[in-house]
């Protein structure tokens, strides 16, 4: 057994070295064969660890988790990648604070929030409700958390294999309305999403969650730059473009898998996989990538085809995949998406239509401040219905802006949110 383990370690190390060498040499003519490959490396958006915390030992457990996740970070940095964030997802918040009074639970979560700043990680406390039978009091607690604490993120599961969770949908609407009214700039809802058909161990926040024993990790890239580069140099051949994009995404995903397996062997943690969804941020824009493909504005004819091309390429990446594994269209995190929203080029119905062929959902969607709980519930319900019908992971992160009306501009202060114009509900 010892000899076999040593062989496995050596094999992973050799394979990792080969892939790292290939990535480092990708810009040289000698390293390129056939079609040109993506010349730049996407950021590693998320190295996410999954832990089960004990109320008395959480600091020690967090420190142990960070030791593992930072090993992954060092491996990526040695290969020339920039790592944007290290993240920790705990068991669902109701289990995390079980037995505590409301005030004690808020105090405990405040300590966790403060620790995340001191140790430079992003914290997620999983779904406040996983099913209709869960106690809605946890959602009310989590609404307070989102309104008062700036860093903790979380979710609610509005659809799963057992069907649509209409009680969770209603409670999610109540939560979003409360947080819009009670958080600074209505910004607390940036840290909450309602998820549908999303499996555990997704690396991207706020939908990330798990219900297991912990000591797991997963990886996600900020890969919209790869799509931008591929679409900038390819023509309108849908299948050829999808194949080239899959090839470009594969190079980075395979390195992630090799690094993940290597760290797993060294630490005893389990590597769960990579989410190849090409996440955007700022000028690393999925809207820009789509426009390079369609030669038109995002939202015009051809946008759905581009969404399918991207999603098909993502699904073709031959690694262990987790999370959304599709297309991410966060309205306010992508600078050009925010601009096209202001111009009225697309709306909620457009995003739901694109979600029929990709893993979009409704991400960071700005809404007028007078939206009612009933209207919010209908939007959550539409997203959940679509996800459940097609058995695909979708989410809805809705951002009503209290006191703002259609035609007015948002005033978010988060550096990752780009302000835009609010529109009437369709």
C-alpha span between 62 and 66 (Å, rounded): 6
The answer for residues whose C-beta is within 8 angstroms of residue 335's C-beta and 6 or more apart is 282, 283, 285, 418
Q: What is the mean pLDDT of residues 274-294?
A: 96
Q: Are 366 and 347 in contact (CB under 8 A)?
A: no
> pLDDT at position 359, please?
80
Segment 98-121, tens digit of pLDDT: 999 999 999 999 999 999 999 999
**CA–CA dist 172, 192 (Å, integer):** 9
For the residues 204-218, what does the mean pLDDT come to? 98
384 with 196: CB under 8 angstroms?
yes
Residue 136, pLDDT score: 98
CB 212 within 8 A of CB 52: yes
Tell me the mean pLDDT in the region 372-384: 98
Q: Do residues 125 and 95 touch, judged by C-beta distance below 8 A? A: no
As beta bridge partners, residue 220 has 46, 275
Measured distance between the N- and C-terminal CA atoms of the chain, rounded to whole angstroms: 63
137-151 per-position pLDDT tens digit: 999 999 999 999 999
Q: In the structure, what pLDDT confidence band is assigned to residue 22 with cuts at 50, 70 and 90?
A: very low
Indicate if the pLDDT at residue 244 is higher than 80: yes
Is residue 83 over pLDDT 80? yes
pLDDT level of residue 360 (50, 70, 90 thresholds): confident
Q: Is the pLDDT of residue 269 over 60?
A: yes
Mean pLDDT is lowest, of 35-49, 52-66, 332-346, for 35-49
How many CB atoms are located within 10 Å of the residue 57 CB? 10
Beta strands 153-160; 270-275: pairing state: unpaired
Q: Confidence class of residue 256 from pLDDT cuts 50, 70 and 90?
A: very high
Give me the residue label for tokens 């990446």: 317
pLDDT of residue 354 exceeding 80, the answer is: yes
Which of the four pLDDT bands, split at 50, 70 and 90, describes residue 235?
A: low
Name the pLDDT band for 3 (thresholds 50, 70, 90): very low
pLDDT (0 to 100) of residue 358: 83
Q: What is the pLDDT of residue 23?
A: 44
**pLDDT tens string 141-195:** 999 999 999 999 999 999 999 999 999 999 999 999 999 999 999 999 999 999 9
Q: Give pLDDT, residue 39.
A: 55
Res. 334: pLDDT tops 90: yes
Residue 190 is predicted with a pLDDT of 98
* pLDDT for residue 224: 97
Report residue 400 as tokens. Answer: 């009503």
Predicted confidence (pLDDT) at residue 2 exceeds the cutoff of 80: no
Give me the CATH topology for the region 1-166+196-329: Anaerobic Ribonucleotide-triphosphate Reductase Large Chain (3.20.70)
Mean pLDDT over residues 410-418, rounded? 93
What percentage of the chain has pLDDT greater than the value 70? Answer: 90
What the block records as the tokens of 368 is 């007028």
Higher pLDDT, 423 or 29: 423
């Amino acid at each position: 057994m010892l000899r076999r383990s040593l062989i496995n370690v050596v094999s992973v190390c050799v394979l990792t070295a080969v892939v790292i060498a290939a990535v480092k040499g990708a810009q040289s003519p000698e390293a390129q064969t056939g079609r040109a490959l993506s010349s730049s490396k996407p950021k590693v958006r998320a190295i996410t660890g999954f832990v089960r915390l004990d109320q008395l030992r959480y600091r020690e457990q967090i420190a142990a988790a960070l030791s593992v996740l930072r090993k992954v970070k060092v491996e990526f940095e040695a290969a020339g990648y920039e790592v944007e964030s290290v993240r920790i997802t705990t068991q669902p918040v109701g289990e995390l604070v079980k037995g505590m009074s409301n005030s004690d639970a808020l105090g405990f979560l405040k300590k966790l929030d403060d620790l995340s700043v001191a140790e430079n990680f992003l914290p997620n406390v999983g779904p406040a409700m996983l099913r209709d039978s869960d106690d809605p009091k946890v959602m009310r607690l989590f609404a307070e958390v989102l309104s008062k604490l700036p860093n903790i993120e979380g979710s609610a599961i509005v659809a799963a294999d057992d069907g649509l969770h209409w009680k969770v949908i209603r409670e999610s609407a109540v939560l979003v309305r409360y947080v819009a009214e009670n958080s600074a700039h209505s910004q607390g809802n940036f840290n909450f999403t309602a998820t549908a058909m999303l499996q555990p161990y997704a690396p991207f926040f706020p939908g990330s969650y798990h219900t297991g024993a912990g000591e797991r990790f997963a990886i996600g890239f900020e890969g919209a730059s790869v799509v931008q580069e591929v679409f900038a140099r390819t023509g309108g051949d849908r299948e050829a473009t999808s194949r080239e994009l899959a090839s470009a995404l594969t190079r980075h995903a395979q390195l992630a898998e090799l690094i993940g397996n290597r760290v797993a062997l060294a630490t005893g943690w389990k590597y769960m996989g990579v989410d190849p969804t090409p996440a955007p941020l700022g000028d690393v824009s999925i809207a820009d990538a789509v426009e390079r493909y369609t030669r038109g504005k995002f939202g015009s004819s051809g946008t759905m085809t581009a969404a399918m091309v991207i999603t098909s390429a993502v699904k073709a990446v031959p690694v262990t995949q987790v999370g959304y594994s599709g297309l991410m269209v966060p309205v306010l995190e992508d600078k050009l998406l925010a601009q096209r929203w202001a111009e009225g080029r697309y709306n909620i119905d457009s995003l739901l239509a694109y979600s029929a062929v990709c893993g979009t959902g409704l991400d960071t969607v700005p809404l007028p401040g007078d939206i009612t709980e009933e209207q919010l519930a209908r939007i959550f319900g539409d997203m959940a219905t679509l996800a459940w019908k097609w058995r695909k992971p979708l989410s809805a992160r809705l951002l009503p802006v209290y006191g703002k009306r259609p035609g007015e501009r948002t005033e978010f202060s988060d550096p990752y949110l780009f302000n835009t114009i609010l529109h009437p509900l369709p």
